[in-house]
Amino acid sequence: MSLDSLGWNSVWNERFSSHHALGREPARVAALDRDRCTVVGDDGTEASAEVAGRLRHEARGPADFPAVGDWVAVEPSEHEGPRRIVAVLPRSTSIVRGDADEVTEMQVLAANVDTAFVVAGLDHDFNLRRLERYLATAWNGGVAPVVVLNKADLADDLEARIAETETVAPGVPVLAISAAQGLGLEQLEPWLGSGSTVVLLGSSGVGKSTVVNALTGEERQATGAVREHDSRGRHTTTRRELVPLRSGAWLLDTPGLRLLKLWADEEALDESFPEIAALAAECRFRDCRHDSEPGCAVVRAEREGSLTAERVASWRKLQRELRWLAGRQDQRVRAAEQARWRGVSRAMRQRENLEPRLRRNRPNG
């Protein structure tokens, strides 16, 4: 194994040049478990690593810490113990979501991936609205999505399911497979070339661990039963990690997400809902909210039936989420700025109070 086989190229080499000059070594984060990372270096060996104190101190939030798939700079190994990560290289792509516990924090699920396999189960838990959310997340991170409809052997009407999916994923490849039966896996091969990185995204119970096992040819991931009434499962994958495939590609498995808080911008929605974005550009008013304004092309298309009410409602819901998030982020920025100026004012008052005493105590002459 070498850095090239992990996806290293001339672009990354250029980005790392300043670290080379300082004697640091490049490595890729292969797994993450709480505060401890597993990194793979140029010699192909895995090593435990931890974030250096300075990097930890300078981090502005969780997104500044290493994520699986990141390229990092580590200090040369001079003693026993974990390697020290001193820098994270700027990411080319990323899969992010809003932190489940923090209103305005971003969580990086995967970094520097080429393709996102958005996995949905063709059983009782099939949900087009959830697919739209995952697609928006992939587009927002600059990652090309591929929809993988798993459990095709359980679908009542497979062709109808594929057609439904294509309506919410225009221009996105939609593939039907059965990982448990080993059917249709050859369709995934074009995205699994040597040195490429693919992330698996999907809710609990869609069969991502079964996909991993089918592609690796071994029982690498534990699989669990799903509830019969809704086909939802528990998290059988407990950490994010890069899994090597026989083709030379890397598969980044993620724990199933019960909640995917959108962290994106309007451009991501335009890519996820291109037919609505094209219509919105035809509205009479530039600031149209696409609700009840006169001359709204989106409202007209919904009324005439060329857009389904469900598709438009999902688009509006995601737009409301993004506006709410932007508002909360603005509040946080304003609060931080106010706190900074309060600190500056306090320091100035203290200095003003201190100067007269200093003058009184200053010796004459």
Residues 224-271 have pLDDT tens digits of: 444 444 444 444 555 788 999 999 999 998 876 555 666 666 777 888
Where does the chain have alpha helices with state H? 10-15, 17-21, 53-58, 128-140, 158-168, 208-216, 266-272, 274-280, 297-304, 309-361
**What is the third-level CATH fold of 273-360?**
Ribonucleotide Reductase Protein R1; domain 1 (1.10.40)
Dihedral sign for Cα atoms in the order 317, 257, 249, 19: positive
Which residues, 6+ apart, have CB-to-CB distance to 14 below 8 Å? none
pTM: 0.78
Superfamily of domain 94-253 in CATH is P-loop containing nucleotide triphosphate hydrolases (3.40.50.300)
Mean pLDDT of the chain: 83
Q: Where in the chain is the domain with CATH 3.40.50.300?
A: 94-253
Instruction: Determine contact, residues 238/267, Cβ cutoff 8 Å.
Output: no
Rounded CA separation 155/175 (Å): 13
Give the whole-number percent of the chain exceeding pLDDT 90: 52
Q: 3-state DSSP call for residue 181? A: coil
Which of the four CATH numbers 3.40.50.12780, 2.160.10.10, 2.40.50.140, 1.20.1260.10 does domain 4-88 have?
Answer: 2.40.50.140
Query: Has residue 333 got a pLDDT over 50?
Result: no
Judged on CB neighbours under 10 Å (0-12, 13-18, 19+), 47 is: middle
Query: Has residue 199 got a pLDDT over 60?
Result: yes
pLDDT band at 351 (very low <50, low <70, confident <90, very high): low
Instruction: Determine contact, residues 123/179, Cβ cutoff 8 Å.
Output: no
Q: Where in the chain is the domain with CATH 1.10.40.50?
A: 273-360
Extract the tokens encoding 328. 């909360």
Q: Where in the chain is the domain with CATH 2.40.50.140?
A: 4-88
Where does 37-108 have alpha helices with state H? 53-58
Residue type, 321: E
Instruction: Determine contact, residues 122/154, Cβ cutoff 8 Å.
Output: yes
pLDDT band at 194 (very low <50, low <70, confident <90, very high): very high
Query: Has residue 337 got a pLDDT over 90?
Result: no
Lowest mean pLDDT among 5-9, 158-162, 305-309, 329-333: 329-333
Mean pLDDT of 202-228: 76
Judged on CB neighbours under 10 Å (0-12, 13-18, 19+), 88 is: buried
Lowest mean pLDDT among 126-140, 283-297, 325-339: 325-339
Lowest mean pLDDT among 2-6, 89-93, 257-261: 257-261
Backbone angles phi, psi at 253, to 5 degrees: -85, 145
